[in-house]
Amino acid sequence: MTNNPLIEVNNLKKYFPVSNDTFLKAVDGISFSIKRGETLGLVGESGCGKSTVGRLITQLYDLTDGEIVYEGQNLHKLPTKEKEFEYRKKIQMIFQDPYSSLNPRMTVMEVISEGLVIHQPKLSKKEKEQEVRRLLELVGLNEKHMHRYPHEFSGGQRQRVGIARALAVKPEFIVADEPIAALDVSIQAQIVNILIELQKEQDLTYLFIAHDLSMVKYISDRIMVMYLGKIVEVADSEELYENPLHPYTEALLSAIPLPNPRLERAREQIILKGDVPSPIDLPSGCRFRTRCPKVMDVCAKVEPEFREIREGHYAACHLQNEGEISV
């Protein structure tokens, strides 16, 4: 892993129009970077904007404002169609639901080779078959699966096909949008281990989106916590788990079950009160204040600044006082 960022996101916004003068602010001015060879985990509750971030990076959504810079090139201001075509194959996506992300009318051979047909049109039929066979072996399947249809596979097998499809065009950066959320617990670790092995073998960079913090810790170098369209905390994986600085992160971590029954019974789980506010009608000041167990008067008046509290550890919370957390 190098220190140079492969991708930089600056003041990214995505507003969905609800009416003439009303917008749903799914992503509201976030900035971050990902180094080449790194895995950045992105966590938060459903509806916080995680998947929207992934779809903006892969250009499935048009952004409202901000910029996405890949290898120094603004992806939304590429000079030519040829340049756009070149960058599209460098960034691929693994989707959340393996049951709906694969075309039921296409065989596995057709699903995986679709990218090859577009990006390597000179390949012969035999060469395409060889490449699909190689990709299936990479994800733990074999040539017997090539001519089957998606409905003939289990959820875990379908997600392996989805991973092989993403790898077909030899990408550098992969957005994994909750790739294990729809799978049985017994299969989830297998898929994550495949992603880890592929990263080592092919020098891949990941944005790994999930709501399961225990699995995110296992795969991620750094973790970014998101709430209602804003980033509230970013830190190295171990640092975030050992020293969470934001009350929302503390609440998410307290929900992870401990393997030791005695410790599990003794610890206190933080139960967040109330519902997540609507992204159409956001609270003033800190967006988390309506559910925060440590809320103060200032939280309703001033939006907290997202800043570095410790080396490499960033947070946006008024509990921070001169670089430390008030207790």
* First and final C-alpha spacing in the chain: 37
The dihedral through the CA atoms of 114, 116, 122, 126 has a sign that is negative
Q: Which helix (H) or strand (E) holds 17?
A: strand 5-19
Identity of residue 103: N
**Residues with pLDDT less than 70, the chain:** 1-2, 258-267, 321-327
174-191 confidence digits (pLDDT tens): 999 999 988 888 889 899
How many whole angstroms from its chain centre is CA 45?
A: 12
pLDDT of residue 323: 43
C-alpha distance from residue 87 to each of 77, 91, 92, 209 (Å): 12, 7, 10, 21
153-171 confidence digits (pLDDT tens): 999 999 999 999 999 999 9
DSSP 8-state symbol, 322: T
DSSP 8-state symbol, 107: -
Q: Pick the closest to residue 232 from 215, 219, 251, 208 (CA basis).
A: 251
Complete DSSP assignment for 276-297: PPPTTSPPSS-TTTTT-TT--G
| Three-state DSSP state, 281 | coil
- The CA distance from 118 to 185, in Å, is 35
Q: Residue 57 in contact with residue 91, Cβ under 8 Å? A: yes
How many whole angstroms from its chain centre is CA 71?
A: 19
- The CA distance from 296 to 325, in Å, is 14
- The CA distance from 193 to 14, in Å, is 32
pLDDT of residue 326: 41
pLDDT of residue 246: 95
Q: What does the angle CA 193 – CA 194 – CA 197 come to, to the nearest 5 degrees?
A: 85
| Three-state DSSP state, 241 | helix
**Domains defined for the chain, CATH in brackets:** 5-90+171-243 (3.40.50.300)
Q: What is the pTM of this model?
A: 0.91
C-alpha distance from residue 261 to each of 16, 215, 264, 265 (Å): 45, 20, 5, 6
- The CA distance from 237 to 221, in Å, is 6
- The CA distance from 9 to 18, in Å, is 25
pLDDT of residue 118: 87
